[in-house]
Amino acid sequence: MRKEACRLKIEIWQEGYLCTGMEGIPAKAECVGVYEAIDFKDAVRQYCKINKQYTISYHIQDDTFSDYGCMLFDNEKEARESFG
């Protein structure tokens, strides 16, 4: 009998950002979803599938993800380190 992997509720947070045309007012970090997943990578896969996101990049060197250049995190604290 195959043992099922333990699924956890994992949040995905996108860091805050500032880009051209925002008149110097940065966007704050935000939670983009909560998923029942076995790990953060699985949660990001679900996020991509549900939201039809094809812009997610995986960075092998430091095992991180980004969406349109904004880093994705599994917690609010790290996501708020840039631009709150």
pLDDT for residue 33:
95
Q: Is residue 3 part of a domain?
A: no
Q: Is residue 2 part of a domain?
A: no
pLDDT for residue 46:
93
Q: What is the pTM for the complete model shown?
A: 0.83
Q: Is residue 55 part of a domain?
A: yes
Tens of pLDDT, residue by residue over 6-59, are: 899 999 999 999 888 888 888 999 999 999 999 999 999 999 988 886 778 889
Q: Is residue 40 part of a domain?
A: yes
d(CA 80, CA 84): 4
C-alpha separations of 9 from 39, 40, 54, 80 in Å: 9, 10, 23, 20
Task: Note the helical H segments in 1-84.
Answer: 40-51, 76-79
Find the domain containing 33 and state its range: 8-18+26-79
Q: Is residue 1 part of a domain?
A: no
Q: Is residue 56 part of a domain?
A: yes
Number of domains in the chain: 1
Q: Is residue 70 part of a domain?
A: yes
Which bin fits 3, alpha (ψ -120 to 50), beta or left (φ > 0)?
beta
Q: Is residue 84 part of a domain?
A: no
**Cβ neighbourhood burial of 48 (10 Å; 0-12, 13-18, 19+):** middle
pLDDT for residue 1:
55
pLDDT over 80 (residue 71): yes
